[in-house]
Amino acid sequence: MSRRTAAWLAWSLWALCVVFVVLAVLLYFYTSSERTHPRFVVLAGVPLLVYPTIGAFVVSHRPKNAVGWVLCGMGLVYVFLALCRAYADYLLVAHPSSPLGKTINDEVTPWTVGPIVMLCAVLLVLLFPDGKLPHRGWWAVVLMAVCGAALLNYWWVTWPGGIVEELGRLGGGILLVSCVASLIAVIVRLQSAEARERQQLKWFAYGAAVFLGAFFLMGAAYEIGGAWAGFVVIVTGLSAFPVAVGIAILRYRLYDIDIIINRTLVYGSLTLMLALVYFGGVTATQALFQTFTGQEELPQLVVVASTLVIAALFTPLRRRIQSFIDRRFYRRKYDARKTLEAFSAKLRDETDLEALNNDLVGVVRETMQPAHVSVWLRPETAPKGEHPQ
């Protein structure tokens, strides 16, 4: 397939996804007055257009890389699920006597999407970053994932059933085994990866970490900020993953991942610690205030004071966390920076050129660790019109 044909097909799939999302949103607003809570599965189709969008960009620039097609397929699954849910709600409102709407809403869409997404995830892990399997033998894992997803889907759609249930359980086990095998493939790639591929794998791991972290934080966000907060958290996690994959494959600012990971560790830890200090302090103060005064509500002054304490702790706590993370996870860069800082301080006071020459060679050896170091000094030249002494 030529580059132009591949790009045309990928953007055609993207256009189909957009049509599905538009239809789903229109059906959602048509039936929204009949419900007291929003249908987040339908609304998620809009931000999750990032999957086919990134996939189409990857196919346009790397038509031989199968990862772009997998992203397009994942996007198509997500938006088709949104359309099915919206259509089921429409049937329940417009044709309450029809059993099709209840079947789609309760039996088909909640269950079939899981195995399909797991299948796409296995393919994505196996094919990243060059779109090729590590070895021909990994085709067995692809076949296992396809068969497992098919059996599991068939069981859930035809639930309940005797022998079908046994086949479905077998398919679920096969699908889980293929997921574990795909992770082993990442380890195999990492052992033989070059510098650029290691950076790509870092982007992939970062996106996966944000994706999994969103699922763990969704419950807390729901408890603190309500249903919409949980929705924003999970959509952010789902959207961050294809963005990270697209950056890794298209190599846009590829080497910035180390800075992003560093900042995420620093500000993530800082946010968690400040939140614990704030809520812990407010809770303890409220308990003491209630014990001594019998009132449950805290004075506004206490809340303002807690906020000021958090603001005062922000900068010193951030510096300490930054220093700890640099020493623990970026020790080599930390030592190099300290060496350069010491040399800069010595450079301001040292006047002996020979001593500076030796110090400079030592700094380069310690920070860059080259095979050979030599320093060339330009000979001193006399000003124009004068003869050198």
Paired tokens of 102? 């209840």
Closest to 340 (Cα-Cα) out of 316, 361, 367, 319? 367
Write out pLDDT tens, residues 29-64: 877 655 545 666 677 777 888 999 999 999 998 888
Q: Which of 238, 240, 223 is nearest to 43 (CA)?
A: 238
pLDDT at 264: 79
How far apart are the C-alpha atoms of 340 and 19, rounded to whole Å?
A: 57
pLDDT of residue 18: 92
Unique residue bearing structure tokens 């800069």: 344
Q: Average pLDDT in the 120-143 region?
A: 87
| pLDDT for res 150 | 86
Query: Percent of the chain beyond pLDDT 70?
Result: 71
Work out whether the CA dihedral 310, 314, 315, 319 comes out positive or negative. positive
Helix boundaries (H) for the chain: 3-31, 40-43, 50-61, 66-94, 99-103, 109-127, 139-157, 162-192, 195-225, 227-250, 257-293, 300-329, 331-349, 353-368
Q: Which of 12-26, 258-272, 278-292 has the lowest mean pLDDT?
A: 278-292
Quote the CA–CA distance of 119 and 126 in Å, as a whole number. Answer: 11
Helix axes 139-157, 162-192, angle to 10 degrees: 150
3-state secondary structure of 378: coil
> What local confidence, expressed as pLDDT, does residue 56 receive?
92
Q: What pLDDT, on a 0 to 100 scale, did the predictor assign at position 14?
A: 93
Q: Tens of pLDDT along 159-182?
A: 655 567 788 888 888 988 998 888
The length of the chain is 389
State pLDDT tens for residues 67-111.
999 999 888 888 888 888 888 888 877 777 777 766 666 656 656
Residue 353 pLDDT greater than 60, yes or no: no
Task: For residue 363, give both structure tokens.
Answer: 């700094």
Whether 202 has a pLDDT exceeding 80, the answer reads yes
Can you tell me the mean pLDDT for 113-118?
80
Q: How confident is the model over 298-327, as a mean pLDDT?
A: 75
The confidence band for 302, taking pLDDT boundaries of 50, 70 and 90, is low
Q: Is the pLDDT of residue 336 over 90?
A: no
Summarised one tens digit per residue, pLDDT across range 203-234 is: 888 888 888 888 888 777 777 777 778 888 88
Q: Select the highest-mean-pLDDT range: 2-6, 161-165, 312-316.
A: 2-6
Rounded to an integer, the average pLDDT of 332-344 is 59
Percent of the chain with pLDDT over 90: 7
Of 16-25, 50-59, 327-336, give the lowest mean pLDDT range. Answer: 327-336
Q: What pTM does this model have? A: 0.70
Domain ranges of the chain: 1-97, 270-329, 334-368
- Whether 62 and 131 have beta carbons less than 8 Å apart is answered as yes
Task: Please return the burial class of 360, using the count of CB atoms within 10 Å of its CB with bins 0-12, 13-18 and 19+.
Answer: middle
Where do we find the tokens 């059906």? 27
Task: Please check whether residue 47 is in contact with residue 235, taking contact to mean a CB–CB distance below 8 angstroms.
Answer: yes
- Pair 131, 65: CB distance under 8 Å: yes
Report residue 262's pLDDT band, with 50, 70 and 90 as the boundaries: confident
Q: Find, among 55, 75, 76, 74, the residue nearest to 66 by Cα.
A: 55
Average pLDDT over the chain, rounded to an integer: 77
